[in-house]
Amino acid sequence: MRPAHLRPLRAVAAVAAVGLTLTACATTSGTTTDATETAASASGTFPVTLTNTFGETTVEAQPERVATVNWGNHDVPIALGVAPVGIQLTTYGDDDGDGVLPWTFAGLEALDATGDALPELFDETDGIPFEQVANTEPDVVLAAYSGLTEEDWTTLSEIAPTVSYPEFAWGTSWKDMALIDGEALGLKAEAQALVDDVLAQIDEALAERPDVEGKTVAYTWIDPADPSTIGVYTPLDARVQLLSDLGLVDAPSVVELAGDTDQFYVNLSAEEADTLADVDVLVTYGDDTTLETLQADPLIGKIPAVERGSVVVVPNAEPISAATSGPTVLSIPWVLEDYLDLFQAAAEQVG
Amino acid sequence: MTLLHPTPTASSGGRSASLRRRRSVGLTVAVAGLALAVLASLAFGTRVVGWQDVVAGVLHPDMDVIAQAAVQSRVARTVLGLLVGAALGLAGAVMQGLTRNPLADPLLLGVSSGASLFVVMGIAWLGLSTLTQYVWLAFAGAAAASALVYGIGSLGREGATPLKLALAGAATSAALSSAVSMVLLSRTDVFDTFRFWQIGSIGRADLADIARVAPFLLVGAVLAVGCARGMDALALGDELATGLGQRTLVVRLVGALAVVLLCGTAVAIAGPIGFVGLVVPHLARAFTGPSHRWLLPYSAVLGAALLLVADVVGRVVARPQEIEVGIVTAVLGAPVFIAIIRRRQVREL
């Protein structure tokens, strides 16, 4: 379970995802097909040893049965052409209630791994269901992007070699997630190619949206029922790291607020809202009413970005928020155009 | 910790002159303390504000100046802190009086947890979303939890002894908190709306909301004070109280209704906040002796002061973050709780 994904607002506007899905499927299946070919031909040298915060993980031979836990890790093997035997059941942002996000589902479809062949879904709401994971008899468990505790890691490692995050819980970028999870599969070079491909897509999309590049940004969480506190995601957080890849710059105030924390977000009292005066574009979760609510707040309304409306409101608990708050090599191509449109629109408001 | 020494009932009559002096001195101290707490709550926050801006922010705020807007936002918060703190202090004193249990507290006896659980269930499964709906849910939850705890605590031959009540309360409270988590886990999509009912906070204060719930608090306070004399008699034991002409059942019912109103309203608007109701009556008794006609108003004043101080502490210790007042009261209250258990014979009150 990832707390940051579980921070929805009350009312959620319906956003038509049909257009999104069409574009995304095209991109996704293209990527996957390429990867399938590479996966079939290439295999790295084993054993592979990976170091993480809790210790070392050695994968002795090319894994055939791959289980993944925690947010988004399954997208890496899927993009590399390997259908996992078990993946996290995802509820945040799931549009059709099947527990699998649309880009992941499209990827599984391309690998003929839907219907009866669908991976086992691990319901992690109340912690990782270790027994269920063990029942899938995995050769490896991938969780390069995760909030595993040492205890989780130890337990999982008894089931199969388990890949954890290199340094900070929930602090692995989508690129590192792909490279680390990919390396454990013996497909590091292929993972690197995937990452390069996504970066190229980003460059292309950015070229059409000239105002985004170089704007300073703060990614926030504000509870409309309690605006006395502003949650600010730190540069450690994967969704913030995605913004750097999209050409945006962490506002100096955010960097200073984060200090040397190892947490993926910090809280700022609304009384200090003007700390964020150097932010060009403020990002937050919400719906159609959010900007108006923020502007009406006597303290939060003092943030220049809020005042002038250069705010990106990511529709909460929709596929677009799921795709960008825990970005992966599959979710970014799926969401890129729409996400950047939001930033272009906000960036145009900056004087 | 000398403040925590109880005034023995038997000897208070013989020292009535010194008790009277202590009560009036104590009242001055308590009211002065409350006034200071109010000033502190207006003046200190995450943002450091000059005194000119504090005055202007309270009296005629220029909302374009962020310092004054910040002070203005503290006004509603202070009013809410006053009301909730007074309600919890009163409720704690009534609960301790009714149950003759020095460890009674809305949170420890499960009343707040019951209110939280009903509010959370109402949001998750009935889609309720307004404060007025929360208040009624909280009343129902508080009443159900009180009845449950009292029922369990009264099982067995010797009836509702303080120790059994405390154990029944702790067990019920734990069970209800787990039930809250269970509801939350079944509806992770609305998790954040609930977070507040796990940790009490007065940061979301809004004057319109406060005005809506104030009548419930007022009725609760009147009922509480109304059964003060009855509780004095209860302190002597049910047999003796009945012999003195008190209708013990009526006193218990009216007192319980007061507790439900006070705790239910406090939980609905601020979430569960523990230890204020536990600590405050013990502080108050050091000044008032056991008389509830004195103890109740004192507890209200001290409860308000304690909650405001705790909130101010939460605002300033972790700048630029804020810590919810429910966490601060737990941190401040836990050592006092331990001291009470260590220094007193739990069965006596």
Test A271 with B321 for CB contact under 8 angstroms.
no
How far apart CA A316 and CA A322 sit, in angstroms, is: 8
Q: How does DSSP classify residue B44?
A: B
Phi and psi, residue A55, nearest 5°: 160, -155
Give B18's pLDDT tier (boundaries 50, 70, 90): confident
Test B189 with A8 for CB contact under 8 angstroms.
yes
Test B47 with A269 for CB contact under 8 angstroms.
yes
Task: Quote the tokens at residue B316.
Answer: 């300033």
Give B79's pLDDT tier (boundaries 50, 70, 90): very high
Phi and psi, residue B143, nearest 5°: -65, -45
**Residue B125 Cα, gap to closest chain A Cα (Å):** 14
What pLDDT shows up at residue A17?
29
**B118 vs B9 pLDDT, higher one:** B118
Give B75's pLDDT tier (boundaries 50, 70, 90): very high
Interface membership of B288 toward A (CB under 8 Å): no
What pLDDT shows up at residue B197?
67
Chosen for mutation from A88, A92, A271 (greatest number of chain B CBs closer than 10 Å) is A271
Sheet holding A120-122, edge to edge: A120-122, A86-88, A66-68, A140-142, A162-163
User: Within a 13 Å sphere around the CA of B155, how many CA atoms are in the beta-carbon half?
Assistant: 8
Contact residues, chain B, for A317 at CB < 8 Å: 189
Percent of residues, chain B, with pLDDT higher than 70: 90
Which DSSP string do the residues of A187-243 spell out, in sequence order?
A: -HHHHHHHHHHHHHHHHHHHHT-TTSTT-EEEEEEE-TT-TTEEEEE-TTSHHHHHH
- pLDDT tens sequence across A26-38: 344 444 444 444 4
Which DSSP string do the residues of A72-116 spell out, in sequence order?
A: TTTHHHHHTT---SEEE---TT-SSSSSS-HHHHHHHHHTT-SGG
Which of B:192-251 have CB within 8 Å of A?
A: 192-193, 196, 201, 203-204
pLDDT at B344 over 80: no
- pLDDT tens sequence across A269-288: 999 999 999 999 999 999 99
Task: Quote the tokens at residue A123.
Answer: 């319901």
Percent of residues, chain A, with pLDDT higher than 90: 75
Task: Quote the tokens at residue B105.
Answer: 């507290």
Q: Residue B292, Cα to own-chain centre: how many angstroms?
A: 16
What pLDDT shows up at residue A57?
94
Count A/B contacts: CB-CB distance under 8 Å: 82
What pLDDT shows up at residue A15?
27
Residues with Cβ within 8 Å of A319's Cβ and at least 6 positions away in sequence, in order, are A17, A20, A93, A94, A95, A101, A102, A335
Query: With contact defined as beta carbons under 8 Å apart, do A6 and B192 qualify?
Result: yes
Test B63 with A298 for CB contact under 8 angstroms.
yes
How far apart CA A350 and CA B17 sit, in angstroms, is: 73
Chosen for mutation from A269, A293, A295 (greatest number of chain B CBs closer than 10 Å) is A269
List the single residue in B with minimal CA-CA distance to A256.
B320
Residue A252: in which H helix or E strand, if any?
helix A252-258
Least confident residue range of A126-135, A150-159, B229-238: B229-238
Interface membership of B45 toward A (CB under 8 Å): yes
In 3D space, the residue among A86, A39, A55, A67 whose CA is nearest the CA of residue A186 turns out to be A39
pLDDT at B191 over 80: no
pLDDT at A225 over 90: no
pLDDT at A255 over 50: yes
- pLDDT tens sequence across B250-308: 888 999 999 999 999 999 999 889 889 999 998 898 888 889 999 999 999 999 999 99
What pLDDT shows up at residue B3?
41
Residues with Cβ within 8 Å of B217's Cβ and at least 6 positions away in sequence, in order, are B83, B86, B87, B261, B262, B265, B266
Global pTM reads 0.80
pLDDT at A256 over 50: yes
Q: How do A311-315 and A66-68 pair as beta strands?
A: unpaired
Chosen for mutation from A228, A257, A275 (greatest number of chain B CBs closer than 10 Å) is A228
> Dihedral, CA atoms, A318, A322, A328, A330, nearest 10 degrees?
-20
Test A91 with B193 for CB contact under 8 angstroms.
no
Test B189 with A91 for CB contact under 8 angstroms.
yes
**A224 vs A273 pLDDT, higher one:** A273
pLDDT at B349 over 60: no
What pLDDT shows up at residue B190?
61
Task: Quote the tokens at residue B25.
Answer: 């001195």
pLDDT at B237 over 90: no
pLDDT at B130 over 70: yes
Mean pLDDT of A289-301: 94
Q: Given B46, B190, B193, which is nearest A269 (Cβ)?
A: B46
**A106 vs B338 pLDDT, higher one:** A106
In 3D space, the residue among A75, A77, A78, A37 whose CA is nearest the CA of residue A184 turns out to be A77
**Residue B41 Cα, gap to closest chain A Cα (Å):** 14
Contact residues, chain B, for A271 at CB < 8 Å: 45-47, 66, 70, 73
Task: Quote the tokens at residue A103.
Answer: 């880009």
Contact residues, chain B, for A274 at CB < 8 Å: 66
- pLDDT tens sequence across A137-154: 999 999 999 999 999 999
Q: What is the ipTM of this complex?
A: 0.78
How many Å is the Cα radius of gyration of chain A?
20
AA letter at A153: W
pLDDT at B236 over 50: yes
pLDDT at A224 over 70: yes
pLDDT at A308 over 70: yes
Give A20's pLDDT tier (boundaries 50, 70, 90): very low
Test B46 with A257 for CB contact under 8 angstroms.
no
Whose tokens are 């100046």? That residue is B65
- pLDDT tens sequence across A32-66: 444 444 444 445 688 999 999 999 999 999 999 99
Q: Given B188, B320, B322, which is nearest A228 (Cβ)?
A: B322
User: Within a 13 Å sphere around the CA of B70, how many CA atoms are in the beta-carbon half?
Assistant: 24
- pLDDT tens sequence across B26-40: 889 999 999 999 999
Least confident residue range of B43-47, B225-229, B244-248: B244-248
Percent of residues, chain A, with pLDDT higher than 70: 87
List the single residue in A with minimal CA-CA distance to B65.
A302
Test A225 with B322 for CB contact under 8 angstroms.
no
